[in-house]
Structure 1
Amino acid sequence: MGGAAALEKLVPVLLAFGGGVLLARRKVVPAEASKAFSDYAFLFAVPCYLFGNIYAGDLAALFDRRAIGGYAAAAGVAVAAVAVAAVARGLREPREVALRVMAGVQVNTAYFAVPVFITVFGTAAPIFPILLFQVCVLSLVVIAVMELGRAGPAGGGRAGPGRRLSRAVGASLATPLVLACNAGILLNLLSVRVPAVVLDGAAFVGDSASPVALFALGLHLGGVGLHLRATTREELALIGFKCLVFPLLTWAVCGLLFGVRGDWLAYLVLIAAMPTPQNLFIFAQRYDVGVGLSASVVIKTSLVSLVLLPLWLQTVAT
């Protein structure tokens, strides 16, 4: 795939994202409305899309053990690298380290990867197993560190760290995204017949997930603006790791060590190249750690990833 063809594939992505930025900058649509659009995509449209496609999909092909194992290994190496780098910089607070690990390794699936994959490949199916791995493994590790890190007097509240941790883990596993994925897998495995009208309704709503999620992201970016001159060295390091190092690491581990080839290697590299998720900012606010850093990294990795996507598409297609 040449550069022009790769860019052509991304025109719908740029249109939805850029439209949100433009309308927010011109105050035609208030930037605050991005939350409503985001909630619709995250809580309703994307889960509908995931449920219908997982239920109707081939789980044996979808959950490729070698591909998922390779991505998990690459993510493990990336987690260790970011944690070691954070400690080497003098960070000792577990929550600070966990936040940087999330910034460098977690990927924006619902708001970015899903709409991009739908637009470019016509399906977001390869994202499903990675989404489950991210939510059920990586996110739970970060939550555990965050909860236990505030277990002292500064943590406040009457509940102990174990109870707070169990609540946080339960809330993470009970998100519509995870519930939709698990419901689709369970009904698929049990061969339960879901009425066609339900599947048609889920497909109708799910088709709106891609443009709405990108439009919401554009509205948010257009509202908060982009302050490049204020970017710190640490932010640059995290952005560079997320947008360049992690995809290259995924390519090396999955392709060279695990022997992943063809479409799956392209899928995994592109997933790794997706920006840091907006959940980073939510976590930072919840646990009162690195709020400014997280907001900056989320916004700037989104923009950098969008710029680099044609390059990654051209690279993985050769």
Structure 2
Amino acid sequence: MVHEGWLMEALEKLLPVLLAFGCGIVLARRKVVPAESSKAFADYAFLFAVPCYLFGNISTSDLSRLFDWRALTGYAAAAALAVVLIGVFARMLGVRGPREMALRIMAGVQVNTAIFAVPVFIMMFGNAAPVFPVLLFQVCVLSLVIVSIMELGRPGGSGSRARKLRTAVVASLLTPVVVACNAGIVVNLLSLHLPRTVLDSLAFVGDSASPVALFALGLHLGGAGLTVRGTTREEMWLIAFKCVAFPLLAYAVCRFGFGVGGAWLHYLVVIAAMPAPQNLFVFAQRYEVSVDLSAALVVKSSAVALALLPLWMQWAAPAG
């Protein structure tokens, strides 16, 4: 009965997510709203609304509670182990190129934070604060590793590899989401008190991030569609690893390796269960590697992650 109650509670909290997400799918399928417009909605959320939300919340949060270093270290260790496992599996399937390998690691280890995890956490827990440390770790560590491999593996082109790598790293660190997080931390550490009107304005814009991001994802999914019959073996094992194996790995490493429990264990498992990141497709296009595979992984892992989310909510909460 306890588990059934948790499942019902998770489903009830998930209803707003399903409403925004499902509305995007329906409107795209019926061609009421062009699926191509999903990029405009996603850009608004990623480049403006989410940074407003992150800056406003981080600047006023208790950083000692926000950055639980044992929990974050446990998650980083689980991610490192996942990188090794994906590398081994990819080589077994014949993947040899460094850029192809890096893209598959990105698909299996990184999570869709700004467009998926932030709105889901707001809907499910009323706050997306637990996502912030993982988001910073992902962008400032994992993404920089991926960018480095991609740039160093890029053939030819103008300019030295070192210069291209430096440009890519700087561009990654200057994305609005990263700037907002770092600026919020600085304001918090310096104990700067922003005017209430500024915080209210940031909250007003930030509150729109969740429904707009989920609506954009629904539009994208509705336009792309899902072809289950055409799913390749590689797609299946990457989606299974991202949506099932990685959350279980995060649970095992964090709980038994680092003694993480309670709410943080719950949060980390749910974060790990988020789908492949939206910028996987952006990276694939930019570096001209496995573009079709990346598009399929973003769309299909999003659908699978959304379907499994109530089960992770039910399983992880009592376990902590």
Shared fold (TM-score, shorter chain, > 0.5): yes
Which residue in 1 is equivalent to 2:202? 202
Q: Structure 2: which amino acid aligns with 1:239? A: I
State the distance in 2 between where 1:27 and 1:83 align.
40
SS, match of residue 37 in structure 2: helix
SS, match of residue 95 in structure 2: coil
1:273 CA drift (Å): 0.1
State the distance in 1 between where 2:136 and 2:74 align.
15
Which residue in 2 is equivalent to 1:155? 156
State the distance in 2 between where 1:178 and 1:155 align.
30
Structure 1 residue ranges, 4+ long, deviating more than 3 angstroms after superposition? none
Aligned positions, number: 314
> Identity of aligned pairs, percent?
68
Q: TM-score, normalising length from structure 1? A: 0.98
Q: Structure 2: which amino acid aligns with 1:310? A: P
SS, match of residue 48 in structure 1: helix
Q: Structure 2: which amino acid aligns with 1:16? A: A
The answer as to 2:244 corresponding to 1:244 is: yes
Deviations 1:133-156 (A, max 9, x none): 000000000000000001xxx332
Of 109, 112, 126, the match for 2:113: 109
Which residue in 1 is equivalent to 2:147? 143
Of 87, 90, 94, the match for 1:86: 90
State the distance in 1 between where 2:36 and 2:235 align.
25
Residue pairs, 1:1-318, within 5 angstroms:
1-150=5-154, 154-156=155-157, 158-318=158-318
1:6 CA drift (Å): 1.3
1:194 CA drift (Å): 1.4
Q: Structure 2: which amino acid aligns with 1:104? A: G
State the distance in 2 between where 1:271 and 1:200 align.
28
Deviations 1:209-257 (A, max 9, x none): 0000000000000011111110000000000000000000000000111
1:91 CA drift (Å): 1.7
State the distance in 2 between where 1:295 and 1:81 align.
22
Structure 1 gap ranges (5+): none
State the distance in 2 between where 1:301 and 1:117 align.
18
1:89 CA drift (Å): 2.1
State the distance in 2 between where 1:71 and 1:275 align.
16
Q: Structure 1: which amino acid aligns with 2:7? A: G
Q: TM-score, normalising length from structure 2? A: 0.97
Structure 2 gap ranges (5+): none
State the distance in 2 between where 1:46 and 1:35 align.
15
